[in-house]
Amino acid sequence: MQRMENYVTLEFLSRSSNEGFARVAAAGFAAQLDPTLDELGDIKTAVSEAVTNAIVHGYPDQLGKIVMKLKLLENNTIEITVRDWGKGIEDIQQARQPLFTTGGEERSGMGFTIMESFMDRLTVKSTSGRGTTVTMRRRISARIKR
């Protein structure tokens, strides 16, 4: 278990306008680790996917609560948890398959695949009817200070 160095918790409604806020908040928090622009972009994209999944799939017909926890762990690692109390995922393995979606034709079904490719670790826990928790970790490469 890695020791926690710092954390922040944000709670917001499942409005699509809050996805951008979550991205910027995660980037601002991650800035403490001095990431490269590419690393920052990866974190923002992964957060975007996780929050969008909670909004679109967790609460398709209603507004609900989303909580995002950001933690700085030792070894220059950021952990991001996005939790909702919405519909939940019936079959996590199926949901993690590329191109699978329950969101209609306009959804690509690549959310979990994108999160997995941009982060070092991705875990998904879900209970049908009770919500989903997505936890992602990314180690930021240490840069030589000049």
Catalytic residue among 19, 53, 79, 83: 53
Tell me whether residue 19 is one of the annotated catalytic residues: no
Q: Tell me whether residue 53 is one of the annotated catalytic residues.
A: yes
49 is catalytic: yes
Separation CA 66–CA 69 (nearest Å): 10
Q: Of the listed 49, 79, 83, 138, which one is catalytic?
A: 49
Identified catalytic residue from 96, 107, 137, 139: 107
Question: Whole-angstrom Cα distance, residue 56 to residue 51?
Answer: 9
Non-local CB neighbours of 124 within 8 Å, separated by 6+ positions = 89, 92, 95, 96, 112, 132, 133, 134, 135
Q: How do beta strands 121-127 and 4-13 pair?
A: unpaired
H or E segment at 40? helix 37-53
Q: Catalytic amino acids?
A: 49, 53, 107
